[in-house]
Structure 1
């Protein structure tokens, strides 16, 4: 059978990319190309590896890869939860410019025109591509066409044609957060709970120590599984021609890490085994460590570069291995961008920036405290204990912060403070650093532009799943919304005239963000309460009414419940209802401590919707507690 013309062309490009200039086109096996394997563990931050932290788990099989490869010390998953992180990996694009940043997708989105998931390009170049087996992409099913030769629990590189190069992904779920839902007695653990080092924001209790020890044991178990796979490659005689990437799909998994755009939720391990026959494709010798910052958007382009396949212009990432990459340039990379939006039913909007030795959190809705109830997370007993201790007043200020409103921005020196507990944003000694990183963040979110500033119900209604086109069409609008949000960072008297005008804007999203900014100022914004009270009662947009009612509840300037119940009664959109219910939970569990009775809403169109709405309803009706 004749090979497709596109394959012949790309094989010629591969040959040139690998320096095999005498070869015009390649038949399988006629000229070598490296194999590439990803060994991906779930919910696995770098700090859990002894390679990165003395308190981490010994992982001899991963450490073997490190001795014969490269350890990347500063790697960021972009998102702290599976589906946006994996969507970033497979596309090479930042999720918020595509509408792929919410976990999990309510509306599957398209890739930019002409762009494919990166394994598609490998297939066109003759690679056998397999995934075993988790995908969890936020893209439309049609985007997966022709990406994998096989994606299933049976997928294996062994099914390729003789001599055919391969790209294989092997996923390991042993470290997933769900593995900590069952409780184990200390006698069942290999790691001594008394030996663990607790993060400073966690309470020192027997339960937390038990969960730390349990998770360290899981690291040992997944290392054994990784070792079995490496031995399989070795038995097949493939190690000398196969790059092996070992990394976590996001950070985690003790409370306060997975799901949160911060160092413990985003900083993952990455160890790349370098095969003997392909050492010329890497910029550092085997056994090296690299300090340059790498992001998940970079991994797909790196695989393409190692394979000699041209990197599509539509990808955001750039390769860190392969032709054209120098160690000097790689170590100059010092920035990483991260994002946290909706996690299941819980909403937030946080953007993270690593720049040099500093990390920066931009909390665009700072009243949405981190510990806001999430049903899935609360299946882990340590989460429940943490909340119980907070309610009893038994936590210190660092431990309490998880359940209290956040500052609009935070700045940390992670060399001195790796778990980000000492906020330097108000320290005058860091004013220049803060100004610089704040500007960089503004440029990131406006430059994408960032679809997180469009409420998810609006995006679902208006985008038709074409997030990229919708994003470009709304670029100026998003820039305006970012401007209104950034008024949170200025003195309130300075922005009052601008807020008064924005509260009357024609665009409902300008009014929406103006009210959010007022809520960020809290009681300081009481001077605008009369206008906002009228908006809660009669604004033509339900989401603006919701944010206005939220302001009243947060500041004590009025009872938000009649307005919220009326809005919930009138909406027939489950996505909109879930966003409104987020405010209900915030006002129930936050400082306002308001009681809500959802019984009158049983006849509402959204009330019996599955998924996110069902989780919120169970919690607010008290059914989740009864079932624990």
Structure 2
């Protein structure tokens, strides 16, 4: 082959590959998945909270799509985070304690692995939280850490600000030529475990909310604690309540500190979006914002999460897609959406068919307002984590009713709530003869879902 012809052929092939790379990058959005820790659904200004200030996240909500009824399928860190990346219920992915890890075969079917296999640059920053082995080699950019981490480490910025620096560093490496998927998993607003200062915010936020008065929830008192079944009293949820919410003075300080941590996350979002704009990446970057599960702020005389009460399992969920037409922005959807929906959503946004092992549903048809089939009207909740003082539980929640079963409680405990008539879940109807048929039906629903979703 003449050298001149060979050179021309090489240049033509290079041009073709370059044009394909540019086309594919333009067709495939960048993806950012922001996961806070212990953030209940109403701890955002855009969700109606009258105290907390979250203007940057509120802006994503105003220009994106808000899901009013989003839930974690399990309310404990490791299990929930595994559900987010696998798109699977705990029964299938098997992460039900702090030590278990995803096998290489299982990890290969997570959304970050599938995206990487399909040409995405992948990055993870923050709290990994799934097992005791970090998958650093599975990402192109890795700044994850094991365990809970600490908000303050000598000589380093507050944890949230530290993650911000790593995020901006990564975004500085990004170009329009290759799409990226960035996961940021915050420690905020998780407490610093143990006694002492619980919600350790940066000094910058010390005076935030100082003039506000936190109104305690309707059930955040001893009267409602005493109404709980005996099997749910005491234990870790009550121990943590004693550290955080025992009396109004303690409640005021700790709820405000909790909000201060989340305002720090909001500032992170502002800095991240500004960097996207600086890098001219903002118009092709989809941002999904959510939390691993909810959190009690004293409701029912409890702290923590774990149990199937709304405060524990309901989460924020915002999908911001700058490519949406203006008339589709600012939607507030009422459908039941789940933590396991995030993985198939991210893959669908990238134009990739989700693996069949995923059990969630892509939210893209809801985001663009064109659902092509009836959406779910119920979901399975499962808390299979073994713990001496936190009862295991399973349940079904639909658009009106909630059924909870505690398989290891003595005596066996069931709860049935009519969420329409009893939104604070105070009156257990499981022993009410008038609701015997409903109880039987929901027992059957739980058994059917247990079997079909394994």
TM score, norm. by length of structure 1:
0.55
Of stretches 193-202 and 126-135 in structure 1, the one that deviates more from structure 2 is 193-202
Question: What displacement does 1:226 show?
Answer: 1.9
Q: How far apart in 2 are the matches of 1:416 and 1:251?
A: 22
Unaligned runs of 5+ in 1: 1-22, 368-404, 450-628
Q: Which has the higher helix share?
A: 1
Q: Which has the higher contact order (CA 8 A, sep 6+)?
A: 2
* Aligned residue runs from structure 1 range 346-425, under 5 A: 346=389, 348-367=391-410, 408-425=413-430
Question: What displacement does 1:315 show?
Answer: 1.2
Deviations 1:545-589 (A, max 9, x none): xxxxxxxxxxxxxxxxxxxxxxxxxxxxxxxxxxxxxxxxxxxxx
Contact 2:176 2:281 in 1 (8 A): no
Q: Which residue of 2 is the match for residue 182 of structure 1?
A: 197
Tell me whether 1:172 sits opposite 2:186 in the alignment: yes
Question: What displacement does 1:343 show?
Answer: 6.2
Question: What displacement does 1:322 show?
Answer: 5.4
Instruction: Choose the corresponding residue for 2:216, options 168, 193, 197.
Output: 197
SS in 1 for 2:316: strand
Q: How far apart in 2 are the matches of 1:446 and 1:333?
A: 17
Alpha-carbon distance change, 164 to 336 in structure 1, aligned in 2, over 3 angstroms = same
Deviations 1:216-251 (A, max 9, x none): 333323222222222222222222211111111211
Q: How far apart in 1 are the matches of 2:373 and 2:270?
A: 29
Question: What displacement does 1:264 show?
Answer: 1.4
Q: How far apart in 2 are the matches of 1:189 and 1:324?
A: 34
SS in 2 for 1:170: strand
SS in 2 for 1:195: coil
Question: What displacement does 1:167 show?
Answer: 0.9
Contact 2:66 2:317 in 1 (8 A): yes
SS in 1 for 2:188: coil
SS in 2 for 1:164: coil
Q: Which residue of 2 is the match for residue 118 of structure 1?
A: 111
Instruction: Choose the corresponding residue for 2:58, options 50, 54, 63.
Output: 63
Q: Which residue of 2 is the match for residue 620 of structure 1?
A: none
SS in 1 for 2:23: coil
Contact 1:110 1:140 in 2 (8 A): no
Contact 1:359 1:413 in 2 (8 A): yes
Alpha-carbon distance change, 231 to 330 in structure 1, aligned in 2, over 3 angstroms = farther
Alpha-carbon distance change, 51 to 414 in structure 1, aligned in 2, over 3 angstroms = farther
Q: Which residue of 2 is the match for residue 149 of structure 1?
A: 140
Q: Which residue of 2 is the match for residue 29 of structure 1?
A: 22
Contact 1:292 1:330 in 2 (8 A): no
Q: How far apart in 2 are the matches of 1:279 and 1:349?
A: 45
Tell me whether 1:264 sits opposite 2:311 in the alignment: yes
Tell me whether 1:241 sits opposite 2:277 in the alignment: no
Q: Which has the higher strand share?
A: 2
Q: Which residue of 1 is the match for residue 43 of structure 2?
A: 48
Q: How far apart in 2 are the matches of 1:433 and 1:192?
A: 47
Q: How far apart in 2 are the matches of 1:25 and 1:411?
A: 60
Contact 1:357 1:414 in 2 (8 A): yes
Alpha-carbon distance change, 39 to 55 in structure 1, aligned in 2, over 3 angstroms = same
Instruction: Choose the corresponding residue for 1:213, options 250, 256, 262.
Output: 256
TM score, norm. by length of structure 2:
0.74
For the aligned residues, what is the CA RMSD?
3.3
Tell me which structure has the larger Cα radius of gyration: 1
Q: Which residue of 2 is the match for residue 291 of structure 1?
A: 334
Q: Which residue of 1 is the match for residue 89 of structure 2?
A: 94
Question: What displacement does 1:119 show?
Answer: 1.2
Q: How far apart in 2 are the matches of 1:438 and 1:331?
A: 23
